[in-house]
Amino acid sequence: MFGECSATVSMLYAAVFGADGACIEMSVTSILTAFGAFMVLVVIAQFFARLLWRRLLQRGAPIDDDYIDPVGNTPFDDDPKYRDSAIRSTKR
């Protein structure tokens, strides 16, 4: 298991190309380089996932027959003088 090493490679090199009998360097530089490369791949994957998600959720052109014109500009009619109205001032 802990035999002779033919060479010493970084973690990133071992992850990409494989170690194949070489020892893997476990220094701070090697670990941070592998972690940095992993984070770059995560950011790129997030970009493409968001682009794909946006395309999947994109709506088509609205159909004019399905559009219902509301009666007024407000979603409901409310009398502001009514005691239990939905929108009223707190000074009552």
Q: What is the pLDDT along the chain (92 residues), one digit of tens a residue?
A: 567 888 889 999 999 988 888 888 899 999 999 999 999 999 999 999 999 999 888 776 656 555 555 555 555 555 556 666 566 566 65
Residue partners of 57: CB distance under 8 A and separation at least 6: none
Kindly report the pTM of this predicted structure: 0.53
Give whole-number Cα distances, 89 to 9, 46, 76, 81, 92, in Å: 72, 46, 17, 10, 6
Q: Where exactly are the structural domains of the chain?
A: 8-57
